[in-house]
Structure 1
Amino acid sequence: MRPPSVNDLALRIADVGLPHPLLVIAARAAIAAGDPDSAIDEARRLRRSLLGSAINATGVLLHTNLGRAPLGNQHSRAPLGAAGLDDGPARASNLEFDLVSGRRGSRASHASLLMATLTGAEAALVVNNCAAAVTLVLAALARDRGVAVSRGELVEIGGGFRVPDVMEQSGARLVEVGTTNRTRAADYRAAAERDDIALLLKVHPSNYKITGFTEEASVAQLSNIGPPVVVDLGSGLLDERCPWLGSRPDWLAGEPGARQTLAAGAVLVTFSGDKLMGGPQAGIICGKADLVAACAAHPLMRAFRPGSLVLGALQSVALAYLRRDADAVPFWRMASASTDELMERASALGIGRPSATMALAGAGSLPGQEIPSAGIELDGDLAASLRAFDPPVIARVNTQTTVVDLRTVDPADDQIVAEAIRQSLTRRN
């Protein structure tokens, strides 16, 4: 039998809801496979491959594969009616427009004041991720000069990006000091005395731990050596006191804050916006005004600058911190939920076994540090079936037991999760 035309087959599967050109792709794939009837399945697979929402029931608060810090709807659009794909009127934003003078403004100014206020810095600058922030700092302040880094801090972040590689691309020259497990202030001082050192760089090993016979130099010790001290904090805890929560959670013990690091003598700190800060993906540079200005004036800034959606979401999160409104930041709302509350929600689902679990911060933050949590356990591996639900529910599987951890599920999604589980169990049975 002759197969149908691609266009006719695409029209037959229009109920999937994709634009016609994508339906054509699905139709062609089905015809090429010799199974035109599979076109609707091809279209559904294509639709599910597009960017969309998912319910994170893994217990990993900052799940890199699921977009790291979750953003509420109020944080997904820029303020002041910035153009977005919502149902409201299409409006411009004052991204680079000074509303007071009526002249061209700077996109850096909006976030600079807020981030500087939150960290106690003189100034701040926002770029598109933390690797870009480190690259920009090194290119602007240390090109063709040495940067001293402890051998124990030459980290590799996700995707295979390594500190030495980032430094090479910036034009700075890596000067390794100390050993993997022990680096003293004297090691940095010796490097500064024998070499042309522009910066002393500390990199917080946020995605691993070295334990045992270890030693590292503090920021305060390094600030007395001579060259300026820059600290890449990575995870982005703004303030060790956590004033937006009222007190510091036990699971954050030992995590350095941007405010305290600057107060200890660092001239600049860099960190991510989408980790412990709980905002959009961004890289943030905070510190001395003249150094931040040098970074802002560097040609790479044009390539690294974020757009209005990122800056708007970051502003919304920053304002929540300044209001000390942790509930307005989904990451902190989820992280702060009590285990009793989570267990009550698990029982209320009326399905599976309510169980104590352990959650993780994730995204390379607080390695090995578990956060007490609760959820439900289900016999067997239901992960694939839960992923097939609309919206997909992403759970974890431990030795043929599916764990749905409610710490990372918004309470508004509890009934959706329950229905996804019921349908998965029905299909299995």
Structure 2
Amino acid sequence: MTAKSDVKDPDPRRRLPAVGAICADPAARPLTERFGPAAVVAVMRTVLDEARTRLRTDPGAVPTIADLLAAGGRILEEGARETLFAVINATGVVIHTNLGRAPLAPEAVAAMQAAGGYGNLELNLETGRRASRQDHLDVLIAEVSGAEAGFAVNNCAGAVLLAVAAVAEGAPVIVSRGELVEIGGGFRVPDVVAQGGSRLVEVGTTNRTHLRDYEQALQEHPDARVILRTHPSNFRMTGFTSAPALDALAHFAHAHGLLLVEDLGGGALIDLAPYGIADEPMAQASLRAGVDLVLFSGDKLLGGPQAGIAAGRRSLIDRLTRHPLARALRLDKLSVAALSATLRLYRPPADPSRRIPVLRMLTEPVATIAARAEALRAQVAHVPGLDIEVEETLGYAGGGAMPMLALPGRALALRSARFSADELTRRLRTGATPVLGRIERDVVLLDLRTVSDVELPALAAMIANAA
């Protein structure tokens, strides 16, 4: 009779080493030192589970400890890889939502680095007592907008939600049908108003709204407290259209004891008309027209981090700051630092159109862009297999601010003898420094409006590598 110990176990899974034996092996030491013992133990359990599953169908594939450690190392390396990268935006779309909207000014980046450690976010250094993080923004927002006071939360939709909740306080909110817009991600003005605890009262028609429509709404809803005006920054309606002038609407609202709240969206703080951008309203103009509370984004035309900014009368701003939603929507310390640094660039004698990247790109002359394109062509002229030309092109403001505004510029047009346009853009997009361009007429276009001078050497190297 054969001894039990001499019988070979037919189940190959029993020949797998234990987790402890794998982690105690000297070959596991580099992984343990880099990722920590807990992470190595956890990943080796996963690797062993996968090995057991494979052995059910392939009994002869019993891995060694070295095989298991190699598999675990690959998983740990993949998990340690960054997923958010700096890219070169050569699409020609200035405020590119998929690429993070507004690139920050150097001053804002430096402020975020300084705020990365401990800082006086909510501490008054003079008194040694607790303060508000909004103290870093209140005066600056008021100064650059011309308002009595200012407040900021984490995005503009949040600012609208907070304003409705704090100012309307559950009373009906009147909105023109032509302004019931849907913003990014499927969020709609009626939904935001409902979440703010108010009932939406629609007035007018899609294309025409008159003051008499607001008056009729008040007769039917005398308890209404707020007229909400929404700037249609995501679309344009042309033809047989009309709406009350902003100052007339403000006069009407105040004459009937209502507040006028305006969601401007884009957040322009300088006049862009001299640069051919004539239809974008400024926050200062809205406040001068009599708007009680103006709401706008921080990461569009203002050129700062993601934020929703409220500017208006001190009494209304105080109601916003005291509302419970203000805590849920508040800015983190890095956004406070970046936004305050960006707002300071609007103070004279600073020229925001030169210091803030979004404004520089929107207002840059075509001649400057053409010179940049020629400089880049000279740097890549030696690349074999590429036909390279400089072409006239149209970029766009993008980002929900002025999506249909065309911006004349210049692009490097690339035609490869070896790769299709789709393959060339893929190679540019997946290189060490990702480059985003666009394809027109089977030609890869790299629009130089959204590329800075300091990015040209890296862009030239990536073109050479991709080709």
Task: Name which of 246, 249, 261 aligns with 1:230.
Answer: 261
Match of 1:57 in 2: 90
Give, in whole Å, the separation in 2 of the partners of 1:133 and 1:407.
Answer: 31
Q: Secondary structure at the match of 1:78?
A: helix
Q: Secondary structure at the match of 1:115?
A: helix
Q: Please tell me whether residue 211 in structure 1 is matched to residue 244 in structure 2.
A: no
| Mean Cα deviation higher: 257-266 or 208-217 | 208-217
Task: State whether residues 204 and 233 of structure 1, in contact with CA within 8 Å, keep that contact through their aligned partners in structure 2.
Answer: yes
- The 3 A distance-change label for structure 1 pair 11 and 222 is farther
* Distance apart, 1:96 and its partner CA: 1.2
* Distance apart, 1:101 and its partner CA: 2.4
Give, in whole Å, the separation in 1 of the partners of 2:42 and 2:454.
Answer: 37
- The 3 A distance-change label for structure 1 pair 39 and 54 is farther
| Mean Cα deviation higher: 279-288 or 31-40 | 31-40
Give, in whole Å, the separation in 2 of the partners of 1:362 and 1:218.
Answer: 26
1:216-248 alpha-carbon deviations (Å, 9 max, x no partner): 122211112221111000010124x35xxxx73
Task: State whether residues 230 and 263 of structure 2, in contact with CA within 8 Å, keep that contact through their aligned partners in structure 1.
Answer: yes
Q: Secondary structure at the match of 1:76?
A: helix
Q: Please tell me whether residue 142 in structure 1 is matched to residue 173 in structure 2.
A: no
Q: Please tell me whether residue 171 in structure 1 is matched to residue 207 in structure 2.
A: no
Matches of residues 28-67 of structure 1 in structure 2 within 5 Å?
50-67=83-100
Q: Which runs of 4+ in 1 moved over 3 A?
A: 1-8, 10-14, 17-29, 31-49
Match of 1:329 in 2: 356
Identity of aligned residues (%): 42
Match of 1:405 in 2: 447
Q: Which amino acid aligns with 2:92?
A: G
1:118-141 alpha-carbon deviations (Å, 9 max, x no partner): 111000000000011000000001
Q: Which amino acid aligns with 1:319?
A: R
- The 3 A distance-change label for structure 1 pair 18 and 364 is farther
By percentage of residues, which structure has more helix?
Answer: 2
| Mean Cα deviation higher: 379-388 or 309-318 | 379-388
Give, in whole Å, the separation in 1 of the partners of 2:363 and 2:41.
Answer: 44
- The 3 A distance-change label for structure 1 pair 319 and 26 is farther
Match of 2:137 in 1: 111
Q: Which amino acid aligns with 2:373?
A: A
> Root-mean-square deviation (CA), in Å?
3.1
* Distance apart, 1:346 and its partner CA: 1.4
| Mean Cα deviation higher: 391-400 or 198-207 | 391-400
* Distance apart, 1:18 and its partner CA: 8.7
Match of 2:398 in 1: 362
- Unpaired runs of 5+ residues, structure 1, are 85-89
Q: Which amino acid aligns with 2:131?
A: G
| Mean Cα deviation higher: 395-404 or 299-308 | 395-404
Q: Which amino acid aligns with 2:340?
A: Q
- The 3 A distance-change label for structure 1 pair 183 and 271 is same
1:74-111 alpha-carbon deviations (Å, 9 max, x no partner): 312437x7442xxxxx4x22211122322211111211
Q: Please tell me whether residue 300 in structure 1 is matched to residue 325 in structure 2.
A: yes
Q: Which amino acid aligns with 1:57?
A: A
Match of 2:337 in 1: 312
Task: State whether residues 398 and 404 of structure 2, in contact with CA within 8 Å, keep that contact through their aligned partners in structure 1.
Answer: no
Task: State whether residues 320 and 328 of structure 1, in contact with CA within 8 Å, keep that contact through their aligned partners in structure 2.
Answer: yes
- The 3 A distance-change label for structure 1 pair 48 and 60 is farther
Task: Name which of 349, 352, 372 aligns with 1:345.
Answer: 372
Q: Secondary structure at the match of 1:248?
A: helix
Larger Rg, first or second structure (1 or 2) = 2
Matches of residues 279-294 of structure 1 in structure 2 within 5 Å?
279-294=304-319
| Mean Cα deviation higher: 44-53 or 137-146 | 44-53
Task: Name which of 421, 436, 439 aligns with 1:394.
Answer: 436
1:291-311 alpha-carbon deviations (Å, 9 max, x no partner): 010011001101011011101
Match of 1:271 in 2: 296
Give, in whole Å, the separation in 1 of the partners of 2:119 and 2:46.
Answer: 42
* Distance apart, 1:336 and its partner CA: 2.6
* Distance apart, 1:117 and its partner CA: 0.7
- The 3 A distance-change label for structure 1 pair 359 and 18 is farther
* Distance apart, 1:367 and its partner CA: 2.7
| Mean Cα deviation higher: 146-155 or 351-360 | 351-360
Give, in whole Å, the separation in 2 of the partners of 1:208 and 1:23.
Answer: 54
Q: Which amino acid aligns with 1:253?
A: A
Task: State whether residues 143 and 173 of structure 1, in contact with CA within 8 Å, keep that contact through their aligned partners in structure 2.
Answer: no
Q: Please tell me whether residue 162 in structure 1 is matched to residue 202 in structure 2.
A: no
- Unpaired runs of 5+ residues, structure 2, are 1-11, 55-66, 381-387, 416-420
Q: How many residues align?
A: 409
